Structure 1
Amino acid sequence: MKRMNKKTYSKHKLEDNKQIIEQTLRSMAYLPENMLFSDMASTKEGLTLEAVAGKQDEYGKNVITAGSKNTVLHRLLDAVVNPFNVILLIIAVITFFTDVVASSRPDYLTVTIIVTLVLLSSLVAFVQSQRSNAAAEKLSKMISNTAEVLRDGISMEVPMDEIVPGDIIRLSAGDMLPADVRFLTTKDTFVAQAALTGESNPVEKFSALPRKEDCSLTDLQNIGFMGSNIVSGSALAIVLATGNHTYFGSMAKSLTGDKAKTSFERGVDSVSKLLIRMMIIIVPIVFLINGLIKGDWAGALLFSISIAVGLTPEMLPVIMTSTLAKGAVSMSKHKVIVRTLGAIQTFGEMDVLCTDKTGTLTEDKIILEKYMNLHGEDDPRILRHAYLNSHFQTGLKNLIDIAIIDRANENGLEDMIADYRCIDEIPFDFSRRRMSVVLIDKNDKRQLITKGAVEEILDISSHIEINGQVVPIDDKTRRIALATYEAHNKDGLRMIAIAQKNQVPDSGAFSVADEQDMVLIGFIGFLDPPKESAKTAITALREHGVRTVVLTGDSEGVAIKVCGKVGVDNSRVLSGLDIEKMSDSELLKAVATCDLFAKLSPSQKERVVKMFQMAGHTVGYMGDGINDAPPLRQADVGISVDTAVDIAKETADIILLKKDLMVLEEGVIEGRRTFGNIVKYIKMAASGNFGNMISIIAASIFLPFLPMLPVQILTQNLLCDFSQMGIPFDSVDVEYIKKPRNWETKSIKLFMAFLGPVSSVFDILCFAIMWWIIGAKTEALSPLFQCGWFVFGTLSQVIVIHMIRTGKLPFVQSKPSLPLFFSTFIVVIVAFVIGFTDVSIALDMASLPLTFLPWLAAILVGYLLCVQLIKSLYIRKYEEWM
């Protein structure tokens, strides 16, 4: 059998190697353990650090590169090849033939300007894409995904991309498999590998060699695959393959297809298509009108081509990329890391936040407050049993285990550990909601100790220890136990039951079947106090239109107590049992009024999130545990924290570096600010283009010459594009970010219908002034007429940015950012220089007389006042602006 190193692998195409990789993994599944270690050049103590360095040189980083679209070349192609640039390039080719090839006097100016437009927009898009990618990579490094490995016999945490074949790794619930592995030891190890096999249920893995020779690769019970995750149990495994050499790597091209588009992306696509349709309609009409009325078909063709360029919002990709990248960097300053840029808008659109309770609403510093018998009296024996259970379990030690161990150490119980030896355990899982250890003491006495949720422990207990006696559970003793539990639970203590039994088999493996006929001996109670900031954060989110809903696996009593203190409505509570009995239609009605769901399983959390989505909400889900992976996947935007289990971080769209709802609120605001700036550009482009269409058709019908030459239209387009470069850095009105924002194409069409004709009215007014007052009404004076409309058109399109960017009075009630102010100010100066100096001659125009200045000022002021009036009427009618 030949293992593939980096050089061998690179000789083959990825899709051709799937069979080779499968054969390699299959052969390793059947190797005896001693041969396996020999083949992998490893030992049970793991690799030496020297061997790791050599293998990293041989195999490279443990990352999937197959099917990756995030290369420099791909970003360059994305920057150049977009619908708007394609249209411009087609126009450039046509212009080249009409102006250069078929012309007696070749004119390269128009072609040069079009190509310059494409190059500039592509260059800016590429630079912004590079910056965005660099920012994303920098941010991703702030999120740590590590694995526990044995090297030189010492257990250590290393980044997943530094794992190499031959590494020995420890795995427990919540861990992702960082590579293809063979299991060396397993204990109730269940793995979710739906991404690879489509299996909805986790599969159990074993270390024994497979019995069948003809089973499929994914059915091999001693092989685990990169990208799957441990649902419950624990394991020790040896890494067989990393990166592109893995089974997942061989499938990368088929597994990394394009994701479904978000509502924002669909909205941008719809507007892009609308603008392109407008252009496709207007260009032939302008061509026919000018050709028929003026008789110059060649000039009409050039003019219509230039109009197509002018109506193409080629800066849309640039503005989008710049704004999203700026948003991602700004959010990182608030300790919010965006894993995918498209999630920013969804974050701002979110109107329901579903969150777990522990660590989000509470301090995430669980303190063991009580250890009591079934009458509620302090009993050190209960703490001892809980301590033995938590100390000897090898799975994921959660905050409860840590709190038990800390209290036991405070009470001087650590010495008792030497008297016991753990011979087996039954790990925790979310269906049983309990975990057990089997211990043997120095007198060879065996004991099974179990801790878990109160109802689940009662279900497996046949006896109860009360008043120093072990008696069968009956209605009376059950009531005594439940009364103690409920009394402390209502006081806000999280209660865990402790049970044990001594009748344990002398040999053989232990399983869930052994968790029966237990003796319930007492309870331990934990306090996780509410965060002081939680109430403020929930109030702030509510003020921004985000409803906070708690989905917790904790008991109702604790959840009600905590929610009451932090301001979440706890007047109605639904438990997992209640939800199980409800139909989808009943649950759909319930989510309208219920903000607290307790004792939920992972699948029930997922179902509640789905119901909120069916009710028309954009749902965010915040969680950090393995039980949060299903709802994180289901939510419109998954939110986790850097300290979360691997599978939660990999599933989430947004990672918080601080587990605090106040951090989340800052992210929501930045998401809405980002969305608002993109909408500004789109509404400007849509309304401006619609107005230009009307003005061009009117000019084509009534003027004996072209209102502007192609080179003038292109120059004006370039100036207007530059003026909008400051939009990504603009501020957004406080009122705008007060409520969730989603994409509405209807709103954009209404905006076009209101503002488009207004600009046309003042364009025609400008024509009238140039015709009757300035006297530019002949073919010979057309350069003067064209210069007048060039200056007014440029100034009106640039200045109106400040009118459209806010629903308030610009500069007085709402000030633009400095980048936007300077980008527009510079273009205004350039427009005046071109229009009133001999620079205009370079664009085939005649410089304007100073007598035009007061008329220019008058129509500009009139236009701006009219836009402000229309804005007021629009806001009054539709109660929105942007």
Structure 2
Amino acid sequence: MTTTRPTHTPRRTPPDPAAASFWALTVDEVARLFPAPDAIAAPLALARARGHSRLRSWAGIVLRQLSSPITMILLVAALIATATGDNVDGGVILLIVVLSAALGAWQEGRAADAVANLLASVAVTVRVQHGDALVDLPTDAVRPGDRVVLGAGDIVPADCRLVETDDLQVDESSLTGESFPVAKQAGGPLPVDTPLAQRSNILFNGTSVVSGKAVAIAVLVGADSTFGHISTALETRAEPTSFETGIRAFGMLLLRVMVVMVAAILLINLVLGRPLIDSLLFALALAVGITPQMLPVVVSVSLAAGARRMARQDVIVKRLDVIEDLGSMSVLCTDKTGTITAGSVRVDRALDAAGQPSERMLDLAALNAGLQSGYPNPLDLAVLARRPLPPGAVSLDEVPYDFTRKRLTVVAEVAGQRTMITKGAFDGVLACCSRVDTADGIRPLDPIRAEIADRFRRLSADGYRVIGLATAPVDSDRPLQVVDEHDLVFEGFLAFLDPVKEDARASLAELAALGIRTKILTGDNRYVAATLAPQLGIDAGRVAVGADLAGLGQAQVHELVSRTSIFAEVEPSQKEVIVAALRDAGETVGFLGDGINDATALHGADVGISVDTAASVAKKAAAVVLLTKELAVVATGVRLGRHTFSNTLKYVRVASSANFGNILSMVVAAATLPFLPMLPGQILLLNFLADIPNTLVSRDNVDHERLEIAGVWDMRQVTRFMIMFGLLSTVFDLATFALMRWVFHTDAATFRTGWFIESGLTQFVAMMTLRTSRPAWRSRPDGVFFWVSLLVAAATVTLTFTPLGALAQFVAVPPALLLALFAMVLGYGLANEALKRFVRF
């Protein structure tokens, strides 16, 4: 039975002091530190915790909405109005505060729930023993006392005391900087002062299993763990994306405009002798009007909507802020297996050293593949699919695979006979051999070493992935070590076939059409890699190998990486170097990988992309998880990222120009009119109505040409857009003022009502015309977004004729004035279309 525990952070309790040096304790002493888990109560506790976590999340969102600076300003304004006897304005302001907070909380809460559900679908899990059953829990849900069962590729979820081990090798580079795997074993207690890197009987939170198996007791979790202490001490904020920087700059721009304009309006009203309270409330309402208080909600909703849209296309986003980077990706680095190739690796040929078919080769390969305890890989699975492990075969010892040796050795016993079998990269295996198995028996290798190497090159040039296999007799019970991999007998070749996907060339062309260059990083040899270029239509020039990077200066690395499309014989650290060089050159780099050896490159890329079937360490490091390992899915994710970015920028442009135009109009109106151009409650009501369709902007359609290029946040362009279209809005506002004052000779109430109507209608027209750089009639908006926006615009007009409008101190506008206002709004829309010809965006 498999269950999950909620991923909320449990209430922290201080760890037992004895746990501080738990490597100095026996396994039994560590186990006694924690009560046995109650298997019966666990499901009920988990269900309650999930419900409580959800309630806490929603309560936090509501509290944030009500405690925002803008909301607090409005609440103070409502209290001031009520205290001075203006109960109507006070009540209207209070009602709008509640409605705005409810709208924001509802949208933000839905976005948070959507993201939580998406993250749960790709959570990295670990197996935990509960009684006689194993349950899968998210790694961050493991608690002290849990017994975790670990295998190759698993993330260690806590600082743990080892209970059982089987050829366990752990990557501790994230903690110690040591690049080679470290052997671990469930031994006895160690001295309390044992250095961190020598604590061989424990595992550290955040490290990963390279090979072998283990059972361990979780002791210190989260911030109490060794890694947690270091992370807290060195905690730094991730470098903000250009999107985050742009949003912040936009907010600061409007804040500066607001401070200047509101101060000017307040000063003008006071100089003109208007009541202090009325002037103050009016200025506060204007401050709220120009402040994009819905911007955080719109951004959250847009990103969450983008994440949901991506999930429907098999792309799960783990961090919402990566959506913008995904849309602006300029280079994609990827392995070839499963993305470029079909991923259905099969053993096509098993050959002896002379190049002849060999059943013995299949038998030896099956023993090596079936008895190894590391992470199951496609080559071993392909071997076992061709030749199953013989019954009765037993593994006596093993030297696990690592990315330096690039080989794996097991000692197999079959029918009482022991044999050491080494399988791996051809060059590495051949280097360990001094003899060769031939038709004439075991002979010295050197006389035919060049002939065997040439046979390997010819097989590789035919597109095969070729590995070597060697053996040696075993006549000792001593533990197997790396140094024993010498003086071996070369047995022959295994040739694997993994054909290029039929749609791979089209997928690369699709990415290229999106402005994304693809670089293939593979551990395969240079001869196999060279066969890819003509099949994929890549102008590869030459295939670079990982060793080419050694000894180069930074400038030389950058030059090599920029002009090379295919890298072969690449080690994990070299993948990281290639990604870093591309980023240094100003590229937005995506990295697609699913193996243990891909984790560092995934973490170092702007957009780490993995797949749902990846090793846990790879999936943990990735920011995006694909449910289907296809390049076409990556292209879809890029387009959806650009869709999300474009719609968010759409809101920023329209909101900034509308707010700037309105505040400028208010300054002029306050200086020239004998009364306030609009009451504080009316301004807030108008602002609230505009927010309703703004929360749906994430649904809007995006023009095709916008999806073909990476979106770039250009603050100059946003500022220019705001000024040009804001000034145009002000021109029509002033024309409306003149129309109402000098043509229709309106009183204060009619003037305010007319401007309220005109403002509501122009907000609708502004969004529909400025949402696209095309002529508005050549770009179809989303249906729901359009109709809700139209209904809100209609409600703005009809509201003024209702009792609720009377409560807000609106009056019925004469039909002739209403028609004149409609004509003014139509003219505004046509003027926007004309100005779009000269203002590029």
TM-score strictly above 0.5: yes
Shift of 1:392: 1.7
Residue 3 of structure 1 aligns with which residue? Answer: none
Contact between 2:329 and 2:516, CA under 8 Å: does it hold in 1?
Answer: yes
Question: Gaps (5+ residues) in structure 1?
Answer: 1-5, 43-50, 876-880
After superposition, give the CA deviation of every residue in 1:692-740 in whole Å (9 maximum; x if it has no partner): 2322222233333322222222222122222323312111111111112
Listed as ranges, the matches of 1:781-796 within 5 Å are 781-796=747-762
The whole-number CA distance in structure 2 between the counterparts of 1:12 and 1:855 is 63
1:599 has 2:564 as partner = no
- Cα 1:388–1:70 change in 2 (3 A) is farther
The whole-number CA distance in structure 2 between the counterparts of 1:422 and 1:589 is 48
Residue 636 of structure 2 aligns with which residue? Answer: 666
Shift of 1:28: 6.2
Match of 1:527 among 494, 497, 502: 497
Shift of 1:834: 4.0
Letter of the structure 1 residue corresponding to residue 213 of structure 2: A
Contact between 1:548 and 1:568, CA under 8 Å: does it hold in 2?
Answer: no
1:802 has 2:774 as partner = no
Residue 470 of structure 1 aligns with which residue? Answer: 442
Letter of the structure 1 residue corresponding to residue 302 of structure 2: T
Shift of 1:60: 6.7
- Cα 1:210–1:587 change in 2 (3 A) is same
Residue 455 of structure 1 aligns with which residue? Answer: 427
The whole-number CA distance in structure 1 between the counterparts of 2:276 and 2:123 is 65
The whole-number CA distance in structure 2 between the counterparts of 1:872 and 1:595 is 40
Question: Gaps (5+ residues) in structure 2?
Answer: none
Contact between 2:107 and 2:695, CA under 8 Å: does it hold in 1?
Answer: no
Residue 21 of structure 2 aligns with which residue? Answer: 26
- Cα 1:845–1:70 change in 2 (3 A) is closer
Shift of 1:403: 1.0
The whole-number CA distance in structure 1 between the counterparts of 2:461 and 2:559 is 28
Listed as ranges, the matches of 1:690-839 within 5 Å are 690-776=660-746, 781-810=747-776, 812-835=777-800
Residue 215 of structure 1 aligns with which residue? Answer: 194
Listed as ranges, the matches of 1:339-378 within 5 Å are 339-378=318-357
Shift of 1:158: 3.7
Listed as ranges, the matches of 1:409-424 within 5 Å are 409=388, 414-415=389-390, 417-418=391-392, 420-424=393-397
Contact between 1:148 and 1:170, CA under 8 Å: does it hold in 2?
Answer: yes
The whole-number CA distance in structure 1 between the counterparts of 2:178 and 2:760 is 60
Higher mean C-alpha deviation, range 257-266 or range 133-142 = 257-266
1:566 has 2:566 as partner = no
Listed as ranges, the matches of 1:296-311 within 5 Å are 296-311=275-290
- Cα 1:866–1:532 change in 2 (3 A) is same
Shift of 1:320: 1.6
Listed as ranges, the matches of 1:260-279 within 5 Å are 260-279=239-258
Residue 555 of structure 1 aligns with which residue? Answer: 525
Residue 557 of structure 2 aligns with which residue? Answer: 587
Contact between 1:348 and 1:671, CA under 8 Å: does it hold in 2?
Answer: yes
Shift of 1:148: 5.5
Letter of the structure 2 residue corresponding to residue 448 of structure 1: M
Residue 483 of structure 1 aligns with which residue? Answer: 454
The whole-number CA distance in structure 2 between the counterparts of 1:592 and 1:175 is 34
Higher mean C-alpha deviation, range 333-342 or range 299-308 = 299-308
After superposition, give the CA deviation of every residue in 1:152-191 in whole Å (9 maximum; x if it has no partner): 889x674456878777655333111244433345455332
Residue 75 of structure 2 aligns with which residue? Answer: 92
Listed as ranges, the matches of 1:174-573 within 5 Å are 174-186=153-165, 189-193=168-172, 202-215=181-194, 219-230=198-209, 232-241=210-219, 247=225, 251=229, 254=232, 259-294=238-273, 296-409=275-388, 414-415=389-390, 417-418=391-392, 420-442=393-415, 444=417, 446-466=418-438, 468-474=440-446, 477-502=448-473, 504=474, 506-573=476-543
The whole-number CA distance in structure 2 between the counterparts of 1:719 and 1:266 is 28
The whole-number CA distance in structure 2 between the counterparts of 1:66 and 1:607 is 45
Letter of the structure 1 residue corresponding to residue 627 of structure 2: L
Shift of 1:452: 0.6
Higher mean C-alpha deviation, range 459-468 or range 729-738 = 459-468
Contact between 1:165 and 1:240, CA under 8 Å: does it hold in 2?
Answer: yes
After superposition, give the CA deviation of every residue in 1:330-373 in whole Å (9 maximum; x if it has no partner): 11111111222222222212221111111111111101011112
The whole-number CA distance in structure 2 between the counterparts of 1:568 and 1:865 is 48
Contact between 1:193 and 1:202, CA under 8 Å: does it hold in 2?
Answer: yes
Identity of aligned residues (%): 32
Letter of the structure 2 residue corresponding to residue 173 of structure 1: A
After superposition, give the CA deviation of every residue in 1:43-92 in whole Å (9 maximum; x if it has no partner): xxxxxxxx87258479979x9999999834433333334xxx41342243
Contact between 1:387 and 1:405, CA under 8 Å: does it hold in 2?
Answer: yes
Residue 860 of structure 1 aligns with which residue? Answer: 825
Higher mean C-alpha deviation, range 377-386 or range 237-246 = 237-246
Q: Count residues with an aligned counterpart.
A: 832
TM-score (norm 1): 0.87
Contact between 2:143 and 2:221, CA under 8 Å: does it hold in 1?
Answer: no
- Cα 1:441–1:248 change in 2 (3 A) is same
Higher mean C-alpha deviation, range 738-747 or range 450-459 = 738-747
Give me the CA root mean square deviation: 3.4
- Cα 1:109–1:556 change in 2 (3 A) is farther
The whole-number CA distance in structure 1 between the counterparts of 2:623 and 2:723 is 37
Contact between 1:55 and 1:164, CA under 8 Å: does it hold in 2?
Answer: no
Match of 2:64 among 60, 67, 78: 78
The whole-number CA distance in structure 2 between the counterparts of 1:782 and 1:132 is 42
Letter of the structure 1 residue corresponding to residue 266 of structure 2: F
Contact between 1:787 and 1:840, CA under 8 Å: does it hold in 2?
Answer: no
Contact between 2:349 and 2:357, CA under 8 Å: does it hold in 1?
Answer: yes
The whole-number CA distance in structure 1 between the counterparts of 2:52 and 2:407 is 41
Shift of 1:489: 0.5
Residue 133 of structure 1 aligns with which residue? Answer: 112
1:851 has 2:821 as partner = no
DSSP-derived class of the 1:423 partner: strand
The whole-number CA distance in structure 1 between the counterparts of 2:399 and 2:703 is 57
Contact between 2:773 and 2:836, CA under 8 Å: does it hold in 1?
Answer: yes
- Cα 1:437–1:840 change in 2 (3 A) is closer
The whole-number CA distance in structure 2 between the counterparts of 1:69 and 1:594 is 53
After superposition, give the CA deviation of every residue in 1:516-561 in whole Å (9 maximum; x if it has no partner): 1222221110001122232222222222222222111122222232
